[in-house]
Amino acid sequence: MSQRDDGVELETSIGYLLKEAASALRAAMEDALRPFGMTITHYSCLELLAQRPGLSNSELARGAFVSRQSMNTLLQALEREGSVIRPADAAVGRILPAQLTERGRRQIERASAAVRAVELRMLSGLDETAQAETRRVLRGLVEALR
């Protein structure tokens, strides 16, 4: 590859490497979640609710990196299948806080183990110090762009 002064060199571009890593992680997570009949967004929604019960549609959408409309559609489907419950009427404004049902908790327990295995595979070549440094660097990159 020739060196260009005015462009991005893909071999050394941090942005390109991050995108490549994100793409590989997404593919591995999709493979791990497929046996559970889940998409990454489905999993993300359930995981967010497991860790922070009562989140609103907007909060879930932000946490799963999707639009509010997409999250609302997903929440309706999760309610129909019995994984999530929301009140019929909003106590304040239009916010309908979502909660996992027992079915949703069982689903997320199994799926979380599969996703954790993907993460462990991704980190398997790094010792604990390198893992901590990677987290620190990634957090720094995110903060620099915010």
**80 token code pair:** 């129909």
Domain layout of the chain by residue ranges: 14-145
Could you tell me the pTM of the whole model? Answer: 0.83
CATH of 14-145, one of 3.40.710.10, 2.40.170.20, 3.40.190.10, 1.10.10.10: 1.10.10.10
What's the farthest any 2 CA atoms get from each other in the chain?
62
Q: What integer pLDDT is reported at residue 94 of this predicted model?
A: 66
pLDDT tens over the chain, length 146 residues = 455 566 778 788 999 999 999 999 999 999 999 999 999 999 999 999 999 999 999 999 999 999 999 999 999 999 999 999 998 766 666 677 999 999 999 999 999 999 999 999 999 999 999 999 999 999 999 999 99
Q: What integer pLDDT is reported at residue 1 of this predicted model?
A: 47
Environment class of 57 (CB within 10 Å of its CB; exposed 0-12, middle 13-18, buried 19+): buried
Q: What integer pLDDT is reported at residue 3 of this predicted model?
A: 55
Identify any residues that bridge with 85 across adjacent strands, giving them in sequence order: 99
Q: What integer pLDDT is reported at residue 95 of this predicted model?
A: 73
